[in-house]
Amino acid sequence: MAKMAFRLPPAASVIDNPSPADAKELTARMPNTRPTRYGNLNISTEVVSRSKRSTFLVTDEPDGQNQSITREESLKWAELQDDYIAGQEMVVIDGYIGNDPEFRTPTRLYIEAANANIAAMQQQLYFDLEPGGDFEPELTVIYTPNLKAEGFPDDRLIAVDLEQGVTRVFNSDYFGESKKGGLRMWNKLVYDRGGLPLHAGCKIIPTDQGERVGLIVGLSGTGKTTTTFTRQNGSIPVQDDFVAWMPNGHVYVTENGCFAKTFGLNPDDEPTIYGAVTQPDSYLENVSQHGDEVDFYDTSYTQNGRATFPFGVIEAGADRDIADAHFLLILNRNENIIPAVAKLEGPQAAAFFMLGETQGTSAGGADEAGKFLRVPGTNPFFPMLHDLQGNRFLELLEDHPLEVYLMNTGRVGGPESDGRSKKVKIKHSSAIVKGIAEGTIEWEVDPDFHYFVASSVPGIDADDIDVLQPRRLYEAAGRAEDYRALAERFKSERAEFLKAFPSLSDEIVSAVR
Report the pLDDT averaged over residues 475-498.
96
Same fold for the pair 13-31+51-173 and 197-217+241-254+320-482: no
Average pLDDT taken over every residue of the chain = 95
Query: Residue 1 has what pLDDT?
Result: 36
Between 440 and 372, where is the model more confident? 440
Strand partners, 214: 203, 327
Query: Residue 2 has what pLDDT?
Result: 45
- pLDDT-above-70 percentage for the chain: 97
Strand partners, 440: none
What is the Cα gyration radius of the chain? Answer: 23
387-445 confidence digits (pLDDT tens): 999 999 999 999 999 999 999 999 999 999 999 999 999 999 999 999 999 999 999 99
pTM score of the predicted model: 0.94
Residue (of 429, 432, 403) closest to 344 by Cα position: 403
Query: Residue 513 has what pLDDT?
Result: 80
Q: Identify the architecture of domain 13-31+51-173 in CATH.
A: 3-Layer(aba) Sandwich (3.40)
Burial class (CB in 10 A: 0-12, 13-18, 19+), 509: buried
Query: Residue 361 has what pLDDT?
Result: 53
Which residues, at least 6 apart from 335, have a Cβ–Cβ distance to it below 8 Å? 359, 410, 411, 412, 413, 414, 415, 416, 421
- Among 181-185, 240-244, 368-372, 432-436, whose mean pLDDT is lowest? 368-372
C-alpha–C-alpha distance, residues 303 and 19, integer Å: 31
- Among 274-278, 312-316, 367-371, whose mean pLDDT is lowest? 367-371
112-126 confidence digits (pLDDT tens): 999 999 999 999 999
Q: Which amino acid is at 68?
A: S
Give the C-alpha distances (Å, rounded to integers) separating 312 from 93, 153, 408. 19, 38, 31
Strand partners, 260: 307
Q: What are phi and psi of 347, to 5 degrees?
A: -55, -30
3-state SS class at 153: helix
Predicted confidence (pLDDT) at residue 273 exceeds the cutoff of 80: yes
Query: Residue 327 has what pLDDT?
Result: 98
Predicted confidence (pLDDT) at residue 365 exceeds the cutoff of 60: no
* Domain 197-217+241-254+320-482 coded CATH 6.10.140.120: no
- pLDDT-above-90 percentage for the chain: 93
Q: Which helix (H) or strand (E) holds 408?
A: strand 403-408
Query: Residue 314 has what pLDDT?
Result: 96
17-69 confidence digits (pLDDT tens): 999 999 999 999 999 999 999 999 999 999 999 999 999 999 999 999 999 99
Question: Following DSSP, what letter does each residue of 277-337 receive, concatenated?
Answer: HSSTT-EEES-EEETTEEETT--SS-S--EEEEEGGGS---TT--B----EEEEEE--EES
Domain boundaries, the chain: 13-31+51-173, 197-217+241-254+320-482
Predicted confidence (pLDDT) at residue 4 exceeds the cutoff of 70: no
C-alpha–C-alpha distance, residues 371 and 200, integer Å: 21
Report the pLDDT averaged over residues 447-475.
95
Query: Residue 111 has what pLDDT?
Result: 98
